[in-house]
Amino acid sequence: MKLVIIGGLSGGMTVASQFRRLNTTSEIVVYDKNPYVSFANCGLPYYLSREVSERSDLIARTPEQLKNQGIDVHTEHEVISVNDKENYVTVKNLKTGDTFDDPYDKLIVSPGAQANEIEAVKHAPQSFVLQHLHHLDLIEQYITENDVKHAVVIGTGFVGLEVSEQLRKRGLEVTILQHNERVYSTIEEEFSEPIKEEMDKNGIRLELNSEPVKLDGTKLTLNNGEVIDAELIIQAIGITPRTDFLKSSNVVMNDGYIPVDEYGLTNIDNIYAIGDAIETHYQHVPHKKVSVALAWPAHRLAYIIANHLAENDQYKHDGLLSVSILRYFDVAVGKMGLSLKDLEDEDYIIVEQTQNNKAGYMPGAKPLSLKIYVDKNTRKILRASGIGEKGLDKRLDILSTLTRLGGTVDDLINIEVAYAPPFSSPKDIVNMLGYKAIGKL
């Protein structure tokens, strides 16, 4: 059996190595259009400030290690089309410009997504996105060679925020632009206020309702007429699934995203898809579709696909809760469940609680705020979100576990937390949310 994998990051490469463990004889070929594979893309921003101290720490597996695992990796090779009738991919060697066809028995589509860019700045030498290891190298090189003192980050999604934090910690002046008034719109407006405060506190200049319209050298003109200095520009304005190459195939797509079934299969019975380009559904609200461009879902689905390739169909994908978290300087913000938009047609009550993350008399106790959206009929938590300096990740994990297991707010009061004064309270915030929700329903 010959397995061809398009994309050598969290999705594709995890399938490769998981399947290799289950099957030592099949041929595994990976094509990736970028120069590097198998690195920790979530960790890239943290190298900018040397919070991750060594670039090599970001490499999960080297090409040699992959070769020794019997995984045949071709970097700078872009798959430009898929022929699902005759089972081959057409590949362009980006170094030589040559194209060739390569047949497969099973195909894994893990192309990821492309960072969006703004026409006014995208062609400038100082303009970058940060998705891949070579982007990081280019940014590093540019900062060093040009002794960059001031950076402009465009976009306040999680990449924009992480990059702004890291460049600031590196010592650069940082301006961050948001095209409207909503910073980190993944999260409720009230929880984005503390993010703005962190910017203020840390000397990051936030420009709301600002879009670049013209770049002249390092002079960036904004839509409000203001001209700012832009020695370095990092664009972080969202992503688009990189699935154009599938248009010539019969793989069904939905707005560029590839729907997959419980085994990660597309509509074609020997083509799987995984990673940022797929569309799945919420586990707790199965009729609603969701795409989650994060590493956790890719790793999980990789396991399911690898097993299915090995003819073990006991593991099934049953949707995602779309849990995410972001650290921004001293605060963490995060959410579980439906997006704010997906909540719109639901019938819910809102319950909020703010209390210390641990016993209030302990040093370092910090206020933590959580908000849950509870379905009026099922009493399940549709969405939870929150902010705090400490302990948010723990509570999102509790709520995620409860929700995945089908729990309701009635179960919330009985969640027995590991309590000692350095860790929590005898009435933890998740318990209190349960009491409040029951009272309100």
CA 225, chain centre distance (Å): 33
User: Of these residues, 2, 23, 40, 42, which one is catalytic?
Assistant: 42
Length of the chain: 441
Cα–Cα distance between 305 and 353 in angstroms, integer?
40
Cα–Cα distance between 315 and 379 in angstroms, integer?
28
Cβ pair 73, 28 in contact under 8 A: no
Name the residue nearer to its own copies (CB basis): 113 or 332.
332
Cα–Cα distance between 49 and 310 in angstroms, integer?
42
Q: Please report how close the Cβ of residue 132 comes to its own copies at its closest, in angstroms.
A: 16
Name the residue nearer to its own copies (CB basis): 55 or 74.
55
Minimal CA–CA distance to 93: which of 108, 77, 109?
A: 77
Cα–Cα distance between 300 and 320 in angstroms, integer?
10
Q: Please report how close the Cβ of residue 332 comes to its own copies at its closest, in angstroms.
A: 8
Minimal CA–CA distance to 76: which of 147, 133, 19, 17?
A: 133
Q: Please report how close the Cβ of residue 42 comes to its own copies at its closest, in angstroms.
A: 5
Name the residue nearer to its own copies (CB basis): 261 or 318.
318
Q: Please report how close the Cβ of residue 349 comes to its own copies at its closest, in angstroms.
A: 18
- Output phi, psi for 216, to 5 deg: -130, 105
% helix, strand, coil for the chain, step of 5: 25, 30, 45
Q: Please report how close the Cβ of residue 437 comes to its own copies at its closest, in angstroms.
A: 13
Residues that bind its own copies (CB under 8 A): 10, 40, 42-43, 46, 51-53, 57-58, 158, 283, 294-300, 303, 315, 318, 320-327, 332, 334, 336, 359-363, 392-394, 396-398, 400-402, 404-407, 411, 413-424, 426-427, 431, 435
Q: For residue 402, what is the enclosing H or E element?
A: helix 392-404
Q: Please report how close the Cβ of residue 263 comes to its own copies at its closest, in angstroms.
A: 15
Q: In the annotation, is 42 catalytic?
A: yes
CA-to-CA separations, 160 to 35, 194, 286, in angstroms, rounded: 23, 16, 31
Active-site amino acid positions: 42
